[in-house]
Structure 1
Amino acid sequence: MLAIQLPADVEERLTALARATGRSETFYVHEAILQHLDDLEDLYLAEQRLAANRVGTSKRHTLDDVERDLGLAD
């Protein structure tokens, strides 16, 4: 269980959306959190990979190498 406080304007928008669509406020909060978590996880992974790339601890692959390894090279 999680309890959050929303700014009044956000709560009003959420309530209006729920009423207009016949879905619950909980449904939309759940959907918003899931979407944002996916985005945050992608962002943090990209930042980790970029940092590893900058210090030289990750292997780089050229497009030519990938195409060759997958049998897609001309």
Structure 2
Amino acid sequence: MPTSIRLAADTERRLDDLASATGRTKAFYLRQIIERGLDELEDYYLAAETLDRVRRGEEATLSLDEVERALALGH
């Protein structure tokens, strides 16, 4: 699926330089950046959304003791 983005001039220059120096395409590096960074972004934003729900009282939480009891992990 074609997608377009606008990059800051400095970022575009760095990407051009990297592609030129390595003989790879800018698209190759953009795919790498997105694929490697997407896991981190998902973790961060999904965790932040869960934290917001917890703070609003919309998400249940359990204490460590409750989790250990539920999993039969007694000491």
TM score, norm. by length of structure 2: 0.68
| 2:39 counterpart residue number | 38
- Distance change >3 Å, CA 67–CA 20, structure 1 → 2: farther
After TM superposition, where is structure 1 displaced by more than 6 Å over at least 4 residues in a row?
none
Q: Percent identity?
A: 46
Q: For structure 1, list consecutive stretches of 5 or more residues without a partner in the other structure.
A: none
**Counterpart residue number, 2:25:** 24
Q: Any gaps of 5 or more consecutive residues in structure 2?
A: none
Pair 1:50 & 2:54 matched: no
What is the alpha-carbon distance in structure 1 between the residues aligned to residue 10 and residue 32 of structure 2?
A: 19
Measure the CA separation in 1 of the matches of 2:17 and 2:71: 50
* Deviates further, 8-17 or 40-49: 40-49
Q: How much is the aligned-residue C-alpha RMSD, in angstroms?
A: 2.2
TM-score, length-normalised on structure 1? 0.68
Pairs aligned (count): 74
